[in-house]
Amino acid sequence: MKVVIVHYGLGNVSSIKNMLSYLGFDAVISGDESTIKQADKLILPGVGAFDRGMTHIKEKNLLDVLNTKAQIEKKPILGICLGMQLMCSKSEEGVLGGLNWFDADVIRFPKGSKIRVPHMGWNSITIKKESHLIDSDDDQAFYFVHSYHVSTKKTDDILFTTPYGNEFTSAIHRDNIYGVQFHPEKSHRYGMALLKNFMLNT
């Protein structure tokens, strides 16, 4: 099984690879189209601005191969933080369109609210549907760093929600495509379990 962590210039690619190695899985970090074409599973990480992420993907000529792997070949793909947001249609943060794998927008936490922005630190999740990513309904917490979050028009795509002011969508899933707003590579045993489940069960 060939696992590729997509390196398009933004994201904690080494941290993810290190955690996978610790769990006993081999993964390749690559931004090369020919390498990504051979992948059986993909991880799309990301930290930073939406438009910058989409621009980097296009400049590296990765748009077509990512669409092919996700939507035609139906290979399992996990988006992390910005990677999850890029799977959506658009973002309030920028003007470019996203990958459009989910009928969802990326919106900012409300200005003037009592919550601090960015949302930073550990927070809980509520599981909204069964998933290969989570073993049980036990209380679990993950590490977040973000100012924008996904707002999906299709509630069936919502995998987890998280309380921060109001409940927001912290993970999405449809078919072979998964996205998480938090950082599993920074979430200790819960993040390890999620990545292990992605590797073994999807």
Mention every residue, 6+ apart, whose C-beta is less than 8 A from residue 191.
Answer: 19, 142, 143, 182, 183, 184, 185
Looking at residue 24, its amino acid is G
User: Is-contact 36 69, C-beta < 8 A?
Assistant: yes
User: Is-contact 118 145, C-beta < 8 A?
Assistant: yes
Distance in angstroms (rounded) separating the CA atoms of residues 135 and 53: 31
Q: Which residues participate in catalysis according to the annotation?
A: 81, 183, 185
